[in-house]
Structure 1
Amino acid sequence: MADIVFLHGEVITVDEQNQILEAVAIKENRIIATGTSEEIERLVGPQTKVIDLKGKSLLPGFIDSHLHISAYGIDKLGVSCKAAHIHSLQDIFQDLHQKASELPAGKWVRAWGFNETKVAEQRYPTREELDEVSTEHPIIIIRACNHISVVNSKALEIFGIHGNTPDPKGGMIESNSEGELTGRLIETAHFQIAKKVTYSEEEIAQALALASADFVAAGITSIHDAGCNDSDGFRAMYQAVQQDLVQVRIYAMVCAMDNPELFLESMIHAGMVTGIGDDRFKIGPAKLFTDGSSSGPTIATRKPYTSNPEDYGILYYTQEELNRRLGEAHKKGFQITAHAQGDQAIEVVLNCIEAAQQKHSRPDARPRIEHAGISEPDLIERMKQLGVIPIPNPAFFYEYGEGYVHNYGERVNHMYPLRDFFDHHIVAAAGSDSPVTDYRPLFGIQAAVNRKSKQGQEIGSNQTVSVLEAIRAYTWNGAYASFDEQYKGSIEVGKLADLVILDGSILQADPADIADLPVHMTIIDGEVVYQAE
């Protein structure tokens, strides 16, 4: 007899045939039967819990294939520049001042989610303005893309940055026309200082628990974490899972935001490899960064930006450097991946993957490309040939769409191109890149189906997909991207009982309102971890 049965629902299996069934039975942590309500009722015993779905959608638990759980959780402890009342820099300064008044002198004041295009002044804050908030507290405002920050003089002092400090490779410490530091730190200059914004072990544990609670309430049962600040963050994630502070399953990319090369080398030398772990926490691919932020904009492109004919973005590595670093990880048995947004960066990563396979051929290596932003047709053909799994971010269009049109012009028709990926039978797994944008999978599914910005502008409408295709990108494809398709990602007999119930039918909902469907229940390992009140 089953422990729990779900009857009279819209069961979206995401199996090979995309079957829509009525009922499911689970026992302990596994799915033991699917079918009609009449068939599943036969498995109801005296102790069986019966849930009448009454037409609600039951789906595989959502898998977010690219987000940053630590960064999202830490952000919840700071000031949100995305809060509804934020309309100007002055609003942000007021919140920063309030936060500083609550903290002892010397404690960090952190703000996140800043976007210069969303405030009345249409610009970044200055170092001097942040100094007016406080000179006793170090202050950092992190842009929404998490590739750029602005700090005050106290923070620069802590970082040891002065007017003669050289720019790091792949980044910039900005100065004004008089040679004075503006406080703005770009790309690797930002990554190098972000790890110095320290938090106690208790704060980090609290942050991870807060993030996990939000994720499961959105129907997320598994995440692919895309990198922490350093090895301490990697360890904290593992410990939080062991202590049951984090309920979502984690596939952890081997990546540090600052000096990822050193972290990767240390993990290789320690004997780590993709797949070590269990179904709660498992080591994922080796990851490096090859370019910058799509909204920054700092991505590496083959043609100049539409907004600036002199700008081609930032490329972190030469071809030889990337081949050597990721090639060694591939040789040692790692799945390999790289952050690559612009078409130039994607081309460099594809060259690296091809070279790695030629030197050390490995069946079913499943190389990935995180974001795969501007995926032109020639690059898509190479992805198919090399068996690459791209990880696009559909929700970016809603928040940053107008900026994409401004900076890249017609290339938006090939940005995060889910339609092209599906048409070429490329397994593309979607991710939010939270906290860069909204973590809710239903929000991402709506964006993939509609491809519209917050202002209603269509952004590459040629790349829209069906609701079922978008669901697959957030379920089975995510499982495939972590070598787990035999265990999760669809509702099939023998798979883990990771499920989500929506309060309504996603297939009957207006495509423009999918994000508004409430999550009714989330189940992980056969246990209810979230239920709406």
Structure 2
Amino acid sequence: MHSKRFINGKVFLGTNETAFADSLTVVDGKIAPDNAVSEPDEVIDLHGSTVVPGLIDNHTHPKYIADALHGAACTPPLVNSIPEMQEALRHTPEYGKGADVWIEGWGFDESKLAEHRSPNRDDLDQVSTTQPIFLYRSDCHSSVGNSRALELAGIDENTPDPVGGKIEKDENGRPTGFMREVAASQLLIRSKSALSYENDVKNLVNSSGHYLENGIVAIGEMMGRLHPYVSLKLYQDAYKAGFKPKSAIYYVADEVDGPLEIAQTDRLRVAGLKVFMDGSISGETAYMKAGFPSGKKGVCLTSQARLKEIIDYARANHLQVAVHAMGDEAVQNVIDVCQDLDPWLDGMPSVRIEHASLISDQMFEQLKKTKIGLGISTQPIFFFAEEDSYRQFLSKDQLKLAYRIKTMEKEAPIVSLSSDAPCTPWAEPDSPFYGMYAAVTRKTAGGGTINADEAISLPQALLAYTRDAAIMGGFTQNGTLEAGKDADFVVLNKDLFSQKADDLTAVHADQTWIGGELVYQRK
């Protein structure tokens, strides 16, 4: 038995908004009552530092983040034009390497570029025609490839659009390089991943430190894949090589057509299925009741009948269903399908709505009455980073429905905050402290404010990243610092609870502990 006692701290236990202690005892990697050990093996003085439970990002894209960390951040405030984007791509470590080495970038939003258009293959060809280039749009639904990338993926004038996606072409039928929505982007991603499994493992392992420096000890992989390789194997190999955070994998439902290998270990689980009901607001592809003011309706990517089929599969296999739904019509479809269903999972929602970007009062009333108890995992970083797009593409009445987190906390059975990183145009998309800042202040990166009356308190925001996130994602040994839970916690550089709300973005992790062991120390 090995024991540690942390003393002289401000320890937020996370069981409710006001539960604090001044010490913490850890025995063999678990939180223990202070009286469990009379003389601990180690005594660690916190010198008044604030300690919180390890943070949980239960909607993120670790594979994309692993790629992005060695790629170019093509986002404000770093990149604001196509020439700046080209220059950023030229400064990636992969630039100038072999013809099969992909150059990657992420995060562009055409509305934020000086040219007010998406980059195309010709723009990327100015960076390289010999190396393939893959560039993710901010929503991670759409992407752009250069001519070499299109060639490797076998995309030309005669390639048909995949179901649920579109290969954009010019007036002469030539692909522009822009791949609209996930199904089209996957044509490039599969080509890229098929060439570099070993690099994908290495990149995922290298991303471990990124999570730990943000105080994140558990993640939900919301884009699990079965092709060109199985995501479970990627994570298993990454853990063997040193990946640290706990992980729950959600496979894209449309790739699942038979039995799944269901891993259930303390650190790695196949947790559920991911469903896309629609696209994004910034891409004007969210599925809208009244349509966008431009006249666009958005896209419906999954019918109610298909969603019912996926739910039946999940029920039979004891899996959670996570449904991407941004537009109010997409959210309505989820409510309609689920309103009379009985839950099949204990201790966590059987079905959760990801984003739930636009919800009316009437829809909240319907949601509240569902037998299944729909959870909501939402991302305040979106309105923080994409204010211009929301104001440009939504009417005033639609904007009033955006990210109503205070109402969600009141009306939904469980609400968690998460990032959907790197799927938004911000250089630190999965910083929990930026997420909390946005939820508490409702302020944006551009200095505006969206729906100030939907602000929540700081303790509520922190619980949504800890206790409630653990419930949402099934991380049963995390979320609070109660006796018996894993000793996964974060020592902060500042007292989170005495900070002015406007200063929350200056808070960061000084130390991250997993299983009672120090796994990250800020230099």
TM-score with structure 1 setting the length? 0.90
Q: Are 1:67 and 2:69 counterparts?
A: no
Specify whether residues 423 and 158 from structure 1 end up closer, same or farther in structure 2 by C-alpha distance, changes over 3 A only.
same
Q: Are 2:204 and 2:238, in contact at CA under 8 Å, matched by a contact in 1? A: no
Deviation at 1:7, TM superposition (A): 2.2
Q: What is the match of residue 397 of structure 1?
A: 383
Corresponding residue number in structure 2 for 1:27: 27
1:375-394, Cα deviation, whole Å (9 max, x unpaired) = 22233233333311111001
1:89 aligned residue: 82
Deviations 1:220-242 (A, max 9, x none): 11111111354525134432453
When residues 326 and 193 of structure 1 are mapped into structure 2, their CA distance, relative to the original with a 3 A threshold, is farther
- TM-superposed CA distance for 1:47, in Å, is 2.4
Amino acid at match of 1:317: T
- Cα-to-partner distance string for 1:22-68 (whole Å, 9 max, x where unaligned): 2211111111126xxxxx7x9562622222331x2111100111001
Instruction: Give me the CA root mean square deviation.
Output: 2.4
- Give the residue type in structure 2 aligned to 1:418: I
Aligned to 1:226: 222
- How far does residue 71 in structure 1 lie from its aligned partner after superposition? 0.8
CA distance in 1, matches of 2:144, 2:260: 36
Equivalent position to 2:265, from 278, 287, 309: 278
Q: CA separation in 1, counterparts of 2:137 and 2:102?
A: 17
Mapped contact 2:14–2:463 kept (Cα < 8 A):
yes
The residue number in structure 2 matching 1:206 is 202
Moved more, 176-185 or 384-393: 176-185
Shift of the 233–143 alpha-carbon distance from structure 1 to 2, 3 Å rule, reads farther
Alpha-carbon distance in 2 for matches of 1:237, 1:72: 14
1:432 is matched with which residue? 419
Cα distance in 2 between the residues matched to 1:327 and 1:119: 44
Change (3 A) 1:46 1:61: closer
Distance 2:101 2:40 in 1: 57
User: 1:124-152: CA deviations, max 9, x gaps?
Assistant: 12222223332222222211111111222
SS in structure 2 at match of 1:252: strand
Match of 1:254 in 2: 251
**1:6-405 paired onto structure 2 within 5 Å:** 6-16=6-16, 18-33=18-33, 43=37, 45=39, 47-54=41-48, 56-82=49-75, 85-97=78-90, 99=92, 101-187=95-181, 188-198=183-193, 199-231=195-227, 232=229, 234-255=231-252, 260-262=253-255, 264-266=256-258, 269-270=259-260, 272=262, 276-306=263-293, 308=294, 310-354=295-339, 357=341, 366-386=350-370, 387-405=373-391
Structure 2 counterpart of 1:423, from 397, 406, 410 = 410
Counterpart for residue 37 of structure 1 = none
Per-residue CA deviation, residues 347-392 of structure 1 (Å, 9 max, x unaligned), is 222233346x26x867665311111221222332333333111110
Q: Which runs of 5+ in 1 are unaligned?
A: 35-39
Answer with 97-106 or 25-34: which moved more: 97-106
Indicate the residue corresponding to 1:473 in structure 2.
Answer: 464
What corresponds to 1:517 in structure 2?
Answer: 507
**Contact 1:374 1:415 (C-alpha < 8 Å) held by counterparts:** yes
TM-score by length of 2: 0.91
Partner-residue secondary structure (3-state), 1:215: helix
Distance 2:207 2:318 in 1: 31
CA contact (8 A) 2:278 2:327 kept: yes
Distance 1:71 1:228, change over 3 A: farther
Deviates more, 1:184-193 or 1:225-234: 225-234
The amino acid that maps onto 1:190 is: S
Contact 1:71 1:228 in 2 (8 A): no
Tell me if structure 2 keeps the 8 A contact 1:195–1:230: no
Counterpart of 2:416 in 1: which secondary structure?
A: coil
Task: State the identity as a percent.
Answer: 27
**Is 70-79 or 365-374 further displaced after alignment?**
365-374
- For the Cα contact (< 8 Å) 2:375–2:413, is it kept in 1? yes
- 1:327 CA displacement: 2.4
CA distance in 1, matches of 2:100, 2:201: 22
443, 446, 451: which one aligns with 2:442? 451
Distance 2:136 2:158 in 1: 23
Take 1:236 and 1:61, find their aligned partners in 2: how far apart are those partners?
25
Residue pair 1:63, 1:220 contacting (<8 A) in 2 also: yes
Residues 209, 52 of structure 1: alpha-carbon distance in 2 compared, 3 angstrom cutoff = same
Q: Quick one: which amino acid aligns to residue 531 of structure 1?
A: Q
Q: Structure 1 CA distance, aligned partners of 2:46 and 2:314?
A: 49
Q: Secondary structure at the match of 1:59?
A: strand
Contact 1:4 1:51 in 2 (8 A): no
Structure 2 unmatched ranges of 5 or more: none
Q: Do the aligned partners of 1:250 and 1:282 also contact (CA within 8 Å) in 2?
A: yes
- For residues 418 and 379 of structure 1, what CA distance do their matches in structure 2 show? 14
Task: Give the C-alpha shift of residue 461 in structure 1.
Answer: 1.3
User: In 2, are the aligned partners of 1:286 and 1:335 still within 8 Å (CA)?
Assistant: yes
Contact 2:6 2:24 (8 Å CA) reproduced: yes
Give the Cα–Cα distance (whole angstroms) in 2 for the partners of residues 331 and 84 of structure 1.
Answer: 47
Within 1, Cα distance between the matches of 2:440 and 2:175? 44
